[in-house]
Amino acid sequence: MAEGEFLIPPLRPGAHLAVIAPAGPPKPGRLEPVEGRLRERGYAATLLPSCFGHQQGLGPLDFLAAPDHVRVADVHEAFAHPRYDAVLALRGGSGCIRLLDGLDLDWLAASRRLLIGYSDLTVLHALRTRAGIPSLHAPMPASDWGLPGADADTDALFERLASGWRAGDVVGRAEPHALSQGGRARGRLIGGNLAMFCALLGTPYLPDVDGALLFVEDISEEPYRVDRMLSQLRLSGVLDRIAGLLVGSFSGAESPDAVLADHLPRLRCPVLAGWPAGHGQPNRPLPLGVMAELDVAAGTLTLG
C-alpha cells in the first residue's frame, strides 16, 4: 500500500455512531453521559437496545448486557443500517463469544464500518480481521471515558478518529523494556485481550496467525493463568507461526513479568514489550487488521 493512503479514513464531524453493548452491562451512572460526551466531540450517537437490556434483569446471566438475540440484532443493525458511520462498544466484560455462531458473517463482511472497543471485543475484532477489515482497539465510554487519568487516552482516540490512520503513520512508541528482544518484523496486526484470543483457539473464528504481528494484553489474570494461556499458544503452534509479538499492559493482578520472562526468550520472533495499550493507562488507540512493521530498537509500530 502506498505511503500516505488511508488505512482507516477519518470520522468526520457530524458522523453518526451506533453504540452497542455486545458484552457486559454498564455500571450505574456510566450509560447516561455517553450521548452527551459524543456530542461534545462533534458526533451524533444512537444507543441501541442492548445498552438498556440490563434494566430488565437477566437472572443468573446478569453478567450480560442483554439477551443473546438482542445483542446479535444490535450487531447486525449497527453494521448494516445506512445511517451509521462507525460502531462503538459501550464496554467489555463478557459475552461476545456467545454471539459468534449467531452472526451473519457475510453481512458483517459487506460493511467496512469501523468497530471501536477492546477487552471482550477481541472476538469481534477477530471477525473484522478475518474479513480483511480494519478495526480499532481503543477506550470505551462506559469503561474509560471520564475516569480519573483517562482523559489523555480519550483525547488521543478522538484526535485520531478525526485524522484517520494512513500507511506510514507511526502509531506509538514503547519505552525500552527488559522483555523486548530481536529486531524488526512485518505482518498483519491481530489480537487484543490474551484470554479472549486464547478462547478462539480451536474455533473457526481465529484470525490467520501465519506471519502476523500478535498483540496481547490482559487484566486481573494472575501469573499462573498467564502462564497457562501462553503455554496454550505455544502448544497450539501459534507462537511458532507469528512474525512478531507486541506486548501491552497486564494490570489488576500480580505482575506476570516473571512468567513472560520465562516464555518470551523461547520465541524465534521479535518481541516489543511495554506497548501503551491495554486495560491500564495509558490505553492509546491501536488499529488492528492492518499491515504494520514492528521495530524493537526504535520501540515503534509503523502502519502499512
Q: How far apart are CA 91 and CA 51, in angstroms?
A: 10
Q: Which residues contact 103 (CB under 8 A, 6 or more apart)?
A: 72, 75, 76, 127
Active-site residue, 119 included: yes
Q: Which residues contact 30 (CB under 8 A, 6 or more apart)?
A: 91, 141, 142
In the set 50, 119, 135, 180, the catalytic residue is: 119
Q: How far apart are CA 273 and CA 218, in angstroms?
A: 13
**128: amino acid identity, one letter:** R
Collapsing DSSP to helix, strand or coil, 249 comes out as: strand
Q: How far apart are CA 130 and CA 105, in angstroms?
A: 10
Q: How far apart are CA 119 and CA 137, in angstroms?
A: 8
Active-site residue, 217 included: yes
Q: How far apart are CA 138 and CA 115, in angstroms?
A: 10
In the set 54, 125, 135, 217, the catalytic residue is: 217
- Torsion angle of alpha carbons 79, 94, 231, 301, nearest 10°? 50
CB of 226 closer than 8 Å to CB of 259: yes
Active-site residue, 125 included: no
Residues belonging to the active site:
119, 217, 279
